[in-house]
Amino acid sequence: MGKKYKFSKKDDQPKESEKDLKFIDLFCGIGGFRIGFNRAGGECVFSSDWDKFSQQTYEANFGEKPVGDIHTVAVADIPKFDVLCAGFPCQPFSIAGVSKKISLGRKHGFQDEKQGNLFFTLAEIIDYHRPAAFVLENVKNLKSHDKGRTFEIIFNTLTEALGYRVYHKVIDAQSLVPQHRERIFIVGFREPRHFEFPEFPSEGPKLASILQKSPPEKYTLSDHLWKYLQDYAAKHKAAGNGFGFGIRTGSEVARTLSARYHKDGSEILISQGKNKNPRRLTPRECARLMGYPEDFKIEVSDTQAYRQFGNSVVVPVVERIAASVVEALRRPIDYKPDLVLHEKKDDGPRSQHEDLERTPVKYDRKKPKKK
């Protein structure tokens, strides 16, 4: 078993009340977490993201520019908060990201020197501030990366080393937006609170609900690009690979929008009939695909907008999770729900708290000095 964490005095901890809960928005991107937690009654007191274009979009919509590299901020200088929100960089763990790094001979996962260890930056902040809760988001592949060892380290760090009650679940956003997008959400509580992930509709909207009626012609693929994509798909199909483009109609659901969408748009192409080349989604359609409100400002280039929305969380998914987190924090710590029996699924019963074998994790808890 890992070493037990000695909790600070209760007077040193932020108190949950009927007032707005304070949260921080780390690796904030363009603010998907912020919108979701604002709608749940939260108040953002600190945000951080290193990308200058994401900072630009964030500032245009929320009136404040996120702090840059989180490593330039002394942990002690981060304002007190109740909930930590973070969609920490997923490229070191995603299937596409890992494949690319391997092909280039680069390290991935925790061995990625630039992005792989940012989780431990979050752990350091959680350890110092002891927030009432945290919500983390990453790609589905985080659970299987390195044969499960990566997730085991994360889980054990949060539970054994930091002493939090942790819940996790892979959620497909297509019940709320017309996009097949599976992401893992990790929710933790300082006290042993009961928590259940929210329920989602059995069927969601289709692409027609987000498509513009008369998109600019520039989003239609050129003859050259369309021929290239068809030839590329045929080449890989002949080789037995699954690479290729994805054409969709308004009655269907899109593939996962990725940060590389600006390159050729191949993963989500919209059919324009037999006599016309398909087209990319417009940036506004991408915003809708990720659940952003219609008044969300897009003041960057199309290339940056595609990258930003491809890296974002799905806003309505975060909103529902945020509401459940806030509800859990406002209930008595010893709250226990009435027992409800559910029909057994084909893959067997599952609990909200999927325990892994817990192994000791060494973690340095030295308090950072204030700069």
Q: Tally the residues of the chain.
A: 371
Annotated catalytic residue: which of 28, 44, 85, 90? 90
Same domain? For 228 and 183 the reply is no
Vertex 25: Cα angle to 3 and 28 (nearest 5):
115
Same domain? For 151 and 177 the reply is yes
Vertex 316: Cα angle to 109 and 179 (nearest 5):
65
Task: State how far the Cα of 25 lies from the Cα of 42, in Å rounded to an integer.
Answer: 11
How confident is the model over 286-333, as pLDDT tens digits? 999 999 999 999 999 999 999 999 999 999 999 999 999 999 999 999
From residue 257, alpha-carbon distances to 261, 262, 287 in Å are 7, 10, 11
CATH of the domain at 181: 3.40.50.150
Same domain? For 221 and 198 the reply is no
pTM: 0.82
Is residue 248 a part of any domain in this protein? yes
Task: State how far the Cα of 151 lies from the Cα of 96, in Å rounded to an integer.
Answer: 18
Are 286 and 305 in contact, with CB atoms under 8 Å apart? yes
Rounded average pLDDT over 40-67: 97
32: left (phi over 0), alpha (psi -120 to 50) or beta: alpha
Same domain? For 57 and 94 the reply is yes
Distance between start and end Cα atoms, the chain: 34
pLDDT of 234 reads 86
From residue 12, alpha-carbon distances to 8, 82, 164, 278, 286 in Å are 7, 12, 17, 58, 43
Same domain? For 149 and 265 the reply is no
Is the pLDDT reported for residue 113 higher than 80?
Answer: no
Question: How much is the mean pLDDT over the chain?
Answer: 84
Are 166 and 158 in contact, with CB atoms under 8 Å apart? yes
Same domain? For 38 and 117 the reply is yes
Same domain? For 302 and 324 the reply is no
pLDDT of 57 reads 98
Is residue 23 a part of any domain in this protein? yes
Going by their DSSP bridges, the two strands 182-189 and 165-172 should be labelled as antiparallel
Is residue 353 a part of any domain in this protein? no
Query: The tokens of 287 are what?
Result: 């915003």
Same domain? For 318 and 307 the reply is no
Is residue 347 a part of any domain in this protein? no
Same domain? For 265 and 130 the reply is no
Q: Percent of the chain, pLDDT > 70?
A: 78
Is residue 169 a part of any domain in this protein? yes
Q: Across the chain, how many H-helices and E-strands are there?
A: 10, 8
Is residue 198 a part of any domain in this protein? yes
Residue 237 in 3-state DSSP? helix
Are 177 and 314 in contact, with CB atoms under 8 Å apart? yes
The domain boundary residue, chosen from 311, 338, 358: 311
Same domain? For 77 and 168 the reply is yes
Same domain? For 154 and 286 the reply is no
Task: State how far the Cα of 69 lies from the Cα of 66, in Å rounded to an integer.
Answer: 9
Cβ of 2: how many Cβ atoms within 10 Å?
Answer: 17
> Which helix (H) or strand (E) covers residue 83, if one does?
strand 83-86
Is the pLDDT reported for residue 361 higher than 90?
Answer: no
Q: Is 85 a catalytic residue?
A: no
What does the buried/exposed string (b/e) look like for 173-202 if buried means 16 or more CB atoms within 10 Å of the residue's CB? bbbbbbbebebbbbbbbbeebbbebeebee
How confident is the model over 139-165, as pLDDT tens digits? 998 888 788 888 999 999 999 999 999
> Which residues are CB-neighbours of 101 under 8 A, at least 6 positions away?
91, 92, 107, 108, 112
Is residue 337 a part of any domain in this protein? no
Crossing angle of helices 315-330 and 32-39, in 10° steps, is: 40
Is the pLDDT reported for residue 112 higher than 50?
Answer: no
What is the tally of structural domains in the chain? 2
Same domain? For 90 and 29 the reply is yes
CATH of the domain at 247: 3.90.120.10
Is residue 153 a part of any domain in this protein? yes
* Structural domain boundaries, residue 107: 18-204+313-330
Is the pLDDT reported for residue 247 higher than 80?
Answer: yes
